[in-house]
C-alpha cells in the first residue's frame, strides 16, 4: 500500500466541517504547513466553498495541513473533490516544520497533492484572497453544505456551474 502526501486547505482541515472524512479514512496528520508559492484562495458559491485557484504567484502562501493518505483514501478524496471535473489534483511544494517544536528556519520542503480549481471565470480573481480558510472565520461566510441534495454528482455540477459563472 502506497502513501500519498496530501495538502488540505479548506473544509477537510482539523476543526472544519468535513474533517470527519479525513478521520474516517484513517488519514494521518503529518504537520501544518504552507505552500512555497502564492496562490489565490477565495470563498464563493452558494455553499461558501474555499477555492484554490491555479494561478501560481498571485495571492498568498496558503496555510493548511499535510496528511499521509493511502490509495483508497486518495481515490475517495478524488471523488469527494470532483477530480478532474471540478477540482484538479496537482503537485505543489509545501513547507512544514522539521520538528514538532516548530522553530523558525527549521523547515522541510515536500511535494504534496492539492486540489485546485483550474477552470474558472476571471472575475474570481477579483474576490478577496485569503492565506488560510476557517469556516467559522472573520469573513462571516460559513460553509453551507447542501442539505436537500445528497447526490455528489449534482453537488459537483452545481460547483462547476458556480465556478464558471462567478
- Among the listed residues 65, 72, 75, 81, the single catalytic one is 81
Give yes or no: 72 in active site. no
In the chain, which residue ranges form alpha helices assigned H by DSSP? 19-24, 71-81, 152-165
- Detail the DSSP E strand segments found in the chain: 3-8, 28-39, 41-44, 49-52, 60-70, 88-97, 107-116
In terms of Cβ atoms closer than 10 Å to its own Cβ (0-12, 13-18, 19+), residue 44 is: buried
Residues forming the active site = 81
Amino acid at each position: 500500500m502506497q502513501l500519498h502526501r496530501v495538502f488540505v486547505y479548506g473544509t477537510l482541515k482539523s476543526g472544519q466541517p468535513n474533517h470527519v472524512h479525513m478521520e474516517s479514512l484513517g488519514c494521518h496528520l503529518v504537520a501544518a504547513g504552507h505552500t512555497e508559492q502564492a496562490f489565490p484562495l477565495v470563498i464563493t458559491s452558494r455553499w461558501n466553498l474555499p477555492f484554490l485557484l491555479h494561478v501560481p504567484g498571485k495571492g498568498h502562501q496558503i496555510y493548511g495541513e499535510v496528511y499521509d493518505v493511502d490509495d483508497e483514501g486518495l481515490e475517495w478524496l478524488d471523488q469527494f473533490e470532483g477530480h478532474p471535473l471540478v477540482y484538479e489534483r496537482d503537485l505543489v511544494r509545501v513547507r512544514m516544520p522539521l520538528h514538532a517544536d516548530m522553530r523558525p528556519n527549521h523547515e522541510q520542503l515536500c511535494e504534496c497533492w492539492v486540489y485546485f480549481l483550474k477552470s474558472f471565470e476571471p472575475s474570481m480573481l477579483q474576490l478577496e484572497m485569503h492565506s488560510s480558510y476557517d469556516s467559522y472565520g472573520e469573513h462571516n461566510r460559513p460553509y453551507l453544505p447542501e442539505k436537500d441534495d445528497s447526490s455528489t454528482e449534482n453537488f459537483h455540477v452545481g460547483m462547476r456551474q458556480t465556478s464558471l459563472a462567478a
